[in-house]
Amino acid sequence: MFSLLLASLVVTGGFEAGGRIGVAFPASGLENSHAAPALFGINLCYGSGQNRLLLDYGYCGLQAKQASPYRFDVHEVSAGYGREFIVGRSDAGSNWGFEASGAAGLGLLSRVLVSARETGKAPAGHVGAGFYQRQGRSRLSLGLDNIVFFESQSGGSTRTLSLTYFIALKGGVTYVF
């Protein structure tokens, strides 16, 4: 039964590969000392109907607002799910709509100041919404993505949870195989 379901998904769906660019706005205290960086990424998806399974890699490099050689790099890999809704069609044969998505990932973080380097890892979560348009085999998208990094810190005898937010505005192009 499972193999029949899997075979029907492969036949009715399609794989997508593409890239995106955007800008990330640091929040939760980072905006005081970091400028808004460019955001780059690549993604692989499997879509069937209005559902999409997502595998994504993203990078952004935050610079200090003051003139210093400080840099904060964020590499992140995530896996998630997207659902298209309010789907419409135009007379030119394209379809369009809106998409909501959620993902879980792992951030590989590094801070560099001259020759000093500090690295770490943090789990991340994504909640996004955006607009898309399909024309033939291409898919264009524009949307917002709220990225939250989680960190647990010990403060004496208790542990506290710290959240770091990045709000990203992203545009992307994918090709459907």
Q: What is the 3-state secondary structure (H, E, C) of 106-151?
A: EEEEEEEECCEEEEEEEEEEEEEEEEEEEECCEEEEEEEEEEEEEE
Q: Who wins on pLDDT, 36 or 173? A: 173
Per the CB < 8 A criterion, the answer to whether 57 and 39 are in contact is no
Q: Who wins on pLDDT, 74 or 94? A: 74
Per the CB < 8 A criterion, the answer to whether 166 and 147 are in contact is yes
pLDDT over 80 (residue 1): no
pLDDT over 90 (residue 36): no
Q: Who wins on pLDDT, 90 or 123? A: 123
pTM: 0.82
What residues does 159 pair with on adjacent strands?
154
Half-sphere exposure of 112 (CA within 13 A, CB side): 10
Least confident of 12-21, 41-50, 82-91: 82-91
pLDDT over 90 (residue 22): yes
Q: What is the pLDDT of residue 164?
A: 85
Q: What is the mean pLDDT of residues 153-172?
A: 83
φ, ψ of residue 27 in degrees (nearest 5): -135, -170
Q: What is the mean pLDDT of residues 74-89?
A: 91
CATH class of 14-176: mainly beta
In which band, very low, low, confident or very high, does the pLDDT at 69 lie, cut at 50, 70 and 90?
A: confident
Helix (H) or strand (E) holding 64: none
pLDDT over 70 (residue 11): no
The domain spans of the chain are 14-176
Question: For the chain, first and last CA: distance in Å?
Answer: 26
Q: What is the pLDDT of residue 107?
A: 94
Q: What is the pLDDT of residue 3?
A: 63
Q: What is the pLDDT of residue 54?
A: 95
Q: What Rg do the C-alpha atoms of the chain give, in angstroms? A: 19
pLDDT over 50 (residue 5): no
Cα 113–Cα 119–Cα 121 angle in degrees, nearest 5 = 145
Q: What is the pLDDT of residue 67?
A: 74
Q: What is the mean pLDDT of the chain?
A: 86
